[in-house]
Amino acid sequence: DINKPAQPEKRRIGLMGGTFDPVHHGHLVAAEEARYQFGMEKVIFIPAGKPPHKTRQDISPPEHRLEMTRLAVSSNPHFTISDLEMKREGLSYTIDTVRAMKKVYAGWEIFFITGSDAVLEILTWKNVEGLLQECFFIAATRPGFNLEALGHKLSHLSREAVAKIKTIEVPALAISSTDIRHRVREGRPIKYLLPEAVEKFIYQNKLYQI
Ligand code: ATP
Ligand code: MG
Ligand 1 and 22: CB distance under 6 A: no
Nearest CA to ligand 1 atom 19: 115
Cβ–Cβ < 8 Å for 84, 97: yes
| C-alpha 7 to ligand 2 mean position (Å) | 32
- Provide the angle, in degrees to the nearest 10, between the axes of the packed helices 62-73 and 25-37: 50
| C-alpha 26 to ligand 1 mean position (Å) | 7
Ligand 1 and 26: CB distance under 6 A: yes
Residuewise pLDDT in 10s, the chain (210 residues): 566 667 789 999 999 999 999 999 999 999 999 999 999 999 999 999 865 565 666 789 999 999 999 999 999 999 999 999 999 877 778 899 999 999 999 999 999 999 999 988 888 887 899 999 999 999 999 888 888 888 888 888 999 999 999 999 999 999 999 999 999 999 999 999 999 999 999 999 999 998
Short-list 68, 71, 82, CA closest to 15: 82
The H helix count followed by the E strand count for the chain is 10, 6
Whether ipTM > 0.90 holds is: yes
Evaluated on CA atoms 160, 51, 110, 26, the torsion sign reads negative
Short-list 10, 27, 4, CA closest to 113: 27
Give the CATH number of domain 12-204. 3.40.50.620
**Alpha-carbon gap, residue 202 to 206, rounded angstroms:** 6
C-alpha angle with apex 90: 69 to 48, nearest 5 degrees? 15
Ligand 1 and 145: CB distance under 6 A: no
Residue ranges per structural domain of the chain: 12-204
